[in-house]
Structure 1
Amino acid sequence: MKEGLGENSYASNSLLARKVISMSKPLIEEAITELYKNMVPKTVCIADLGCSAGPNTLFAASEVVRIVGKLCQELEHQAALDFQIYLNDLPGNDFNSLFRVFLPRFQSELRQEMGPGFGQCFVYGAPGSFYGRLFPAKSLHFVHSSSSLMWLSKVPEGAEMNKDNIYMARTSPRSVIDAYYEQFRRDLSTFLRYRAEEVVGGGRMVLSMFGRKSEEASSEEGCYAWELLAMAIKEMVNEGLIKENKLHTFHIPQYSPSPAEVATEVVKEGSFALNTVEAKEIMWAECSNNSSYSDKAYYMAKCMRSVAEPLLVEQFGEVVIDELFEKYRRILSSRMYHEDDNKSVIVVVSMTRRD
């Protein structure tokens, strides 16, 4: 993600991501309610994986604290309850802004809402890839991850055959699409295996990721936003502003799965019981609270820039980025004007660690 607090940073362009987290709130509430009633832990240990840095980072954790606080009142539990909250992302994440700017706000709001006698929230950074071990064995009660698990651990081998496409597309060779799926399958299995070591028996996970409803991996549901970005890059290639070989060697390390693909891997890996897996839709227009197509396209382009800019700068250089996203904004504005169903699909899954 684009770090910092500037105009183009993820922290300043994360409204869509917040709405994605909100879509999983019913499953979070169900999971935490069942977990607390079954275990009644003195300290609730929570991990948010792929947390990034911004106003959304502690959103899910704050929901967990509020849910448990309400349960304590309903069950008339008098003892103060503590929370250990682990915030994980890659080491390059902007942890400085996270702990300097957003953590104090989280702590202040919780103190006001929950009162001084409720307990303490101890918050820690946990840098590292969630495709490896991050926490001690059997130390976590609840794991949350939003808008992260569609990111692969690496670009799939064989993606170099994709040429003009920066991601899976209708014109991609079948071998490329299969390579993306195999990489996703291996990565999700690895993720589940390591979380199985870290989560207590009966512990819960709620995960949400950009995906698709269709069983065709190259369908527009999961690929369209990247396809439009590829159009903007190709325009700059045609204008001589980006070298063609730079386009041909650029591949997005992401896979947007279907609910069935996620469910299949959870069942196959076997450490977690699958409770719920569902697909929800979110309109691109929800990047902005404004009404005009131009404004909506502007904020969608800024949202994509906050996510993709570090990858694009590494491949194409910083000098082309402003013009690239201006072209992308114009393409988005045209598509959003002529197509009234521009949306993404969110796959949400809830599971329980087997005893």
Structure 2
Amino acid sequence: MPTTTGMKGGGYYDANSRVQRLTSEALIPWMEEAITDLPEPSPDQQSWNFLDIGTSEGANSINTMNHLIEFVRRKSELPVWALFDDLPTNDFNQMFLNLFPKSAPALSGTAVYSAAIGGSAFGRLVPPKTLHLATTYNAIGFYESKPSATLPNFVIPMIPNPNAPREGVHVSPSELIPFQKQSYQDLYQFYAARAQELVPGGKLLVQVYGKTETQSTGHGIMDVLSDAFLDFVEEDILPRSFYENFIFPAYYRDLDELTAPLQNESELSTAYRIEHTQAYDTRAPFDDDFASTGDRKTWAQSYTSFLRAFTEPVVAEALPDELIEKQLVDKIYQRIEQLLAENPERYEFHFISIAALLTRL
């Protein structure tokens, strides 16, 4: 079973993922380079085949795909298959509405055809040697399956933020080992699946939230989620067992971890050439607005909506049914908004991305 059912639907994720779009747009030069270097499709292929993995509701993915179409049209008028993948539980209705707003196609150009695929990023999605380019943004940060391990004193497999300490909150390096192993195995499966799907000379552009030596994307966002849970535990609204058993199913890799399977596994080291790697920090629009206006309330509302867009499905799935009926999900995010407004410095956020551009050999 996948560790998440997807992002919050109904247009919510699209409306609250501006920072994710900025992280993908930072790689536009890589997209252009990838398209420029692509070999022409073989005679038995009558189209360019592009796949975006982890599409969610689609607005950001469509933006990326339009850039790719723009670049490929400089070299060829062959038809383009624009393929969009996410879990079968994803809100594909919203994605198709985004693809055809007011019945007009959102993808630019002529001879462009779109299709959706329901499937895991960590398995095969298309027939062998059919893809010319595959992209993914953030999707592979989620685990394929939950490791059989516990973290009773924090909500996610990472060392807690040293700038936001709370009594009793801690994770030991040894506790992280099974999660690190699962992360490595997931990444290996992802690269292996794409190696089978890409044509020789095809490109794979990978971006995912991550960490550097000093900062992690989990800093701030996971601190406030943990604090809201613990506040409710102390108020006897949530049982302590909920906090001890809850694990947000994501992992923040560094660049070395992103490329480790490519270097350590002979099957992958002979399948890919690494063209570029990079770690970078994307400034969140709500942080820019806050710096300009100093409006804590608006900042806390926007920050909470951003966080809720990708955490609510996991939180709601973990809560007992009787607590769901008491609107506890709403109350958790109301508490998060309150905590953010009261102490912005404690929950400072940096969207750290790690990325790689690979060529299929």
TM-score range, shorter chain: 0.7 to 0.9
The equivalences for 1:103-114 within 5 A come to 103-105=99-101, 108-111=105-108, 114=109
Partner Cα distance (2:94, 2:287) in 1: 22
Partner Cα distance (1:349, 1:261) in 2: 11
Aligned to 2:303: 300
Secondary structure of the structure 1 residue equivalent to 2:48: strand
Identical counterparts, % of pairs: 22
Aligned to 2:3: none
TM-score by length of 2: 0.85
Instruction: Identify which of 112, 117, 125 aligns with 1:121.
Output: 112
The Cα of 1:132 is off from its aligned counterpart by 1.0
The equivalences for 1:21-40 within 5 A come to 21-35=24-38
Gaps of 5+ in 1: none
CA-based RMSD = 2.3
* 2:333 corresponds to 1:325: yes
Partner Cα distance (1:110, 1:309) in 2: 30
Q: Contact (CA 8 Å) 2:221, 2:347: kept in 1 or not?
A: no
Instruction: Identify which of 116, 125, 136 aligns with 1:145.
Output: 136
Aligned to 2:250: 254
* 2:83 corresponds to 1:86: yes
Q: Contact (CA 8 Å) 2:10, 2:94: kept in 1 or not?
A: yes
The equivalences for 1:200-215 within 5 A come to 200-214=199-213
Instruction: Identify which of 153, 170, 193 aligns with 1:164.
Output: 153
The structure-2 alpha-carbon separation of the partners of 1:156 and 1:224, relative to structure 1 and needing over 3 Å to count, comes to farther
Q: Contact (CA 8 Å) 1:206, 1:349: kept in 2 or not?
A: yes
Counterpart residue type for residue 127 of structure 2: P
The Cα of 1:48 is off from its aligned counterpart by 0.4
TM-score by length of 1: 0.86
Higher mean alpha-carbon deviation, 340-349 vs 282-291, is at 282-291
Aligned to 2:224: 228
Counterpart residue type for residue 155 of structure 1: K
Q: Contact (CA 8 Å) 1:169, 1:227: kept in 2 or not?
A: no
The equivalences for 1:37-48 within 5 A come to 42-48=46-52
* 2:356 corresponds to 1:349: yes
Partner Cα distance (2:106, 2:14) in 1: 19
Gaps of 5+ in 2: 1-6, 161-169
Partner Cα distance (2:287, 2:355) in 1: 19
Q: Contact (CA 8 Å) 2:209, 2:217: kept in 1 or not?
A: no
Instruction: Identify which of 266, 270, 276 aligns with 2:262.
Output: 266
Q: Contact (CA 8 Å) 1:43, 1:84: kept in 2 or not?
A: yes
The structure-2 alpha-carbon separation of the partners of 1:295 and 1:288, relative to structure 1 and needing over 3 Å to count, comes to farther
Higher mean alpha-carbon deviation, 170-179 vs 38-47, is at 38-47
Partner Cα distance (2:343, 2:58) in 1: 29
Partner Cα distance (2:242, 2:51) in 1: 38
Q: Contact (CA 8 Å) 2:154, 2:171: kept in 1 or not?
A: yes
Partner Cα distance (1:180, 1:157) in 2: 9
Aligned to 1:194: 193
Q: Contact (CA 8 Å) 2:216, 2:252: kept in 1 or not?
A: no
Counterpart residue type for residue 332 of structure 1: L
Size of the alignment, in residue pairs? Answer: 331
